[in-house]
Structure 1
Amino acid sequence: MKSSFAVLLLMAGAVRSVVPAQDDEPLLYPYGLDQHDHKNPKLDDGASKKLSLSVPFTFYGKEHRSLYVNNNGVISFSSRVNQYTPDPFPLADGRTFVAPYWGDVDNVLGGEVFYRETTEPALLQRITKSINQYFPTIPYTATWAFVATWDHVAYYGSTSNKGNTFQAALTTDTKMSFIILNYADIQWTSGLASGGDPDTGLGGTPAHAGFNSGDESNFYNIPGSRTEAIINITKTSNVNVPGRWVFQVDKFKVTGVPTEEPKIPDSKSCWL
């Protein structure tokens, strides 16, 4: 376990959904204490308790009735993930999780990790509208959602006030399942223990984004993962909305083509 640093920044539970997505709607779904969110403990490499779900969520052919929201940018279905330096998918140990932005978050130094399970009609209507737009041949009406938001979270060893804000929304109609990943503000890619620079949050082994089903065939690495280019994930998409990636996950299916090649700042392209 890495040693704790002094608290530099404690973020309040305010709603931060200000980045446009489409039709003047915010990129992020509402979150924060006034949305009745829960907060993860202030703990480096920490996680939520095991969270029981009111409905099963199907992830690559397997129903899950519980999950963990991990501070290090991961939602896992089988066990907590305290690993802070990301590995590429597929993982040799068969862990099952989605990684919105797997990196060395330290919410003791700054930021909050929020989450809630919800059937709030306005949110479900908004999610339904998005899924219908991105998957026009699939009839879908959301009946449940789980929203996790990492709000201006700091990186381990930080000597700056940089923070990352990103979100994952899981949704189902009890038959089909989708995950929406929203990236509002990405300012760092790696923590000190992953080889990153404490002043910039860059270098070392950068963060990773994608999905791992637990087998060796069903996985997806969002372009730019574990390279410097992941910092530009706010500008890329597979649904033509910068900063948003959407996947149908009840069965393995990668939809859409990235709208922008993720470029390394002041360097060559990393597109594979």
Structure 2
Amino acid sequence: MEGIENDTSNPLILMCDCMKAYEGNYCEDDFDGCTEVSCFNDATCTDVPAPGTGATCPPCPSGYTGDGIVCNNERGEVFLPFLYPSNYSVFTDVVDGSANVALPATLQFGGISYNIAYISSHGLISFGSVYNAYIPRNFPLDNNLAVVAPYWDDSILSGSRQLRYQIVSGSSSLISQVNTFLSSFIEDNFEADWLLWAYWHDVCSYDDSICSEHESNFFQVTIAVQGSVTYSIFTYQCNLIRWTLYNAAVGYSVNGTFFENHQLSRNRSVVNIDCKGAVSNWTNVVYRIDDLSTTANTPPVIEASENFMIAVGETALYTLRITDPGDSISVTIEFDGELPYTFNQDGSIWTLNVTLSSLVEFNFTVIATDSFNATSTITPQ
């Protein structure tokens, strides 16, 4: 047409985000809040129907207080269950491999800064460089390696076996859960800037890739970062660690000098790591890994009576509360004399059960040792 020129226009593309309570191409579906919530002890989660948001959990069980997601027992202990981000990446169909993740900010590990993580199919995370060794070793590792290992063993990701991972930041309810847990654990306020989350889901050993001889393993790690402070949280659910091929390693190592081996690491009993917190159904292993070299270590604190009384023919209980915020503890008992006894743990509470069948003289000492070999003792009279 005369006086009119043809030209190509740039199309205008508009994208809209659904309100928090909805999802779908046209925001027509009710978003299931339970995809972001794990109720305490695997209780049934109930979605709050749109336009409401979130989810609800049943009340905490007897002896616990909280919102049903995070429950504190009456002694003030908190357990972190499995976390379930609403979105995550999946790494699968791999024999020996790692998923690389660019970190949103610098992560401090053993006094060294890292900006990239490699999450291995073999139950570990390395920082700065790939590390896919399938046979676990005691820590420390070589000087150029930085590794966090919730359950390092020769696993294979095939079929439905998955490694799930995600960076979590912002106002996520998962960050709130981690903040509540860590603040209680270290007995100080903690507010994570971001999390690196990984979940080894339904994994089998290399020699039994379809888990025909034993059931699969499930475990998680959450790396929580607040500025220059870094915590690593290993999470296990009772009865979901069912195999070890080469005696799995649990702990961390960086630069060959900053490291820790869990007390069950590289031992056939490592398969029992998941039921340490049998009352809560969860076990958490927590390490502060940024750099403790400039921080004065304090030994474990033992709270117990200085006196212990028992009569012939009786069975008596002696209860201790043993804590060391931000550190792991091993507890032993030394008896001067031969008496039948049991020594049991429930979180930070240890109970000695002694039976005195005849008139004999005896005494005992309880010894608590942290990862830096700082020791506290008590010998009741």
- TM-score w.r.t. structure 1 length? 0.75
Residue 221 (structure 1) aligned with residue 261 (structure 2):
yes
Tell me which protein shows more strand as a share of its residues. 2
Q: Distance in 1 between matches of 2:181 and 2:330?
A: 17
Q: Is the 8 A contact 1:73 1:105 kept in 2?
A: yes
Q: Deviations over 1:28-72 (max 9, x none)?
A: 1114xxx21001131111211x32111111111111111111000
Task: Output the CA distance in 2 between the equivalents of 1:117 and 1:71.
Answer: 18
Q: Distance in 2 between the 1:19 and 1:80 partners?
A: 35
Equivalent residue runs for 1:242-257 within 5 Å = 242-252=282-292, 255-257=327-329
Deviation at 1:15, TM superposition (A): 8.6
Which 5+ residue runs of structure 2 have no aligned equivalent?
A: 1-34, 43-63, 70-79, 298-325, 332-343, 346-370, 372-381
1:242 deviates by 4.3
The change in CA–CA distance for 1:105 and 1:169 in structure 2 (over 3 A counts) is same
SS at match of 1:45: coil
Runs (4 or more) in structure 1 with deviation over 6 Å come to none
| Mapped pair 1:54 → 2:104 | yes
The residue aligned with 2:180 is 129
| Cα distance in 2 between the residues matched to 1:17 and 1:42 | 27
Q: Does residue 1:208 correspond to 2:261, yes or no?
A: no
Q: Percent identity?
A: 22
CA separation of 1:86/1:242 partners in 2, compared to 1, >3 Å: closer, same or farther? Answer: same
**In 1, distance between residues paired with 2:218 and 2:37?**
9
Give the distance between the partners of 2:88 and 2:217, measured in 1 at CA.
Answer: 19
Whether 1:169 aligns to 2:219 is no
Partner amino acid, structure 2, of 1:168? V
How far 1:16 sits from its partner (Å)? 10
Q: Distance in 1 between matches of 2:40 and 2:250?
A: 20
2:41 to 20, 23, 38: 20
SS in 2 for 1:79: coil
SS at match of 2:206: coil
| Residue in 1 that maps onto 2:92 | 41
Conservation of the 8 A alpha-carbon contact between 1:110 and 1:154: no
**Equivalent in the alignment of 1:76:** 126
| Contact in 1 for aligned 2:167/2:197 (Cα 8 Å) | yes
Q: If the length of structure 2 is used for normalisation, what is the TM-score?
A: 0.55
Per-residue Cα deviation, 1:154-211 (whole angstroms, up to 9, x for no partner): 1102143521100010111213111111012101111xxxxxxxxxxxxxx3111100
Q: 1:96 to 1:116 in 2, by over 3 A?
A: same
Residues 79-112 of structure 1: CA deviation (Å, up to 9, x unaligned)? 2222111010011354111011000111115521
- Aligned-residue Cα RMSD (Å) equals 2.7
- Between structure 1 and structure 2, the one with the greater Rg is 2
Change beyond 3 A, Cα 1:176–1:224: same
Select which of 237, 243, 246 maps to 1:188.
243
How far is 1:215 from its partner? 2.3
